[in-house]
């Protein structure tokens, strides 16, 4: 059993999707250029209202839902990407919309808890740790 070692892959500007792929053995479902996208924090959620209320800019969402609404929600709050856990694959329409919105989609076979745990071990923080006491609507970074 490997323990939780912080490998400190996370720099000031975050971590690349390609390092996320290595850590949770994920597959990228969208265009290869998404490999170099940056992620600053991670959120695991199956409720869209929670995603809206608690994520920050450049947050990667891990979720068990594969509905098109996850992509719409991601667009509203500018998520850095979506990871579908437990090997759940979205429909082609969902992937198509994500491509049109330029949103990286990934799939991993790990369940939600394990995938989150592995990313936490990389040094990636949760949204509340990034901006303690921050209220809804505050933006961590400026510009997009």
Nearer to another protein, 31 or 100 (CB): 100
Chain-centre distance for alpha carbon 48: 14
CA dist., res. 73 & res. 60, Å (int): 12
Give the residue, chosen from 11, 33, 76, 128, that forms a contact with another protein under the rule CB under 8 A. Answer: 76
Contact 101, 71 (CB under 8 A): yes
Tell me phi and psi for residue 38, to 5 degrees.
-100, 145
Number of residues that bind another protein (CB under 8 A): 32
Contact region with another protein (CB under 8 A), list: 18-26, 31-39, 41-49, 107-115? 41-49
- Exactly one of 39, 65, 119, 124 binds another protein (CB under 8 A); that residue is 65
Q: Does 133 bind another protein (CB under 8 A)?
A: no
Among 53, 95, 121, 130, binds another protein (CB under 8 A): 53
The rounded Cα 98 to chain-centroid distance in angstroms is 13
Pairing of strands 81-84, 15-16: unpaired
Write out the E strands in the chain.
15-16, 27-28, 38-39, 41-44, 59-63, 81-84, 105-107, 125-126
Residue number, 36 or 101, with CB nearest to another protein: 101
100 binds another protein (CB under 8 A): no
Stretch that binds another protein, among 12-20, 50-58, 82-90, 125-133 (CB under 8 A): 50-58
Q: Which of 1, 3, 12, 49 binds another protein (CB under 8 A)?
A: 49
51 vs 80 by CB, closer to another protein: 51
């Amino acid at each position: 059993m490997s323990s939780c070692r912080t490998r400190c892959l996370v720099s000031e500007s975050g971590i690349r999707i390609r390092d996320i792929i290595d850590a949770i053995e994920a597959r990228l479902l969208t265009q290869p250029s998404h490999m170099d996208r940056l992620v600053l924090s991670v959120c695991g959620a199956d409720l869209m209202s929670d995603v809206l209320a608690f994520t920050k800019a450049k947050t990667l969402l891990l979720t068990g839902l594969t509905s098109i609404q996850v992509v719409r929600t991601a667009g509203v709050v500018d998520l850095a990407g979506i990871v579908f856990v437990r090997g759940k694959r979205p429909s082609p329409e969902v992937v198509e919309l994500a491509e049109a919105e330029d949103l990286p989609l990934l799939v991993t076979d790990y369940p939600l808890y394990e995938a989150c745990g592995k990313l936490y071990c990389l040094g990636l923080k949760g949204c509340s740790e990034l901006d303690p006491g921050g209220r809804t609507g505050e933006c961590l970074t400026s510009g997009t």
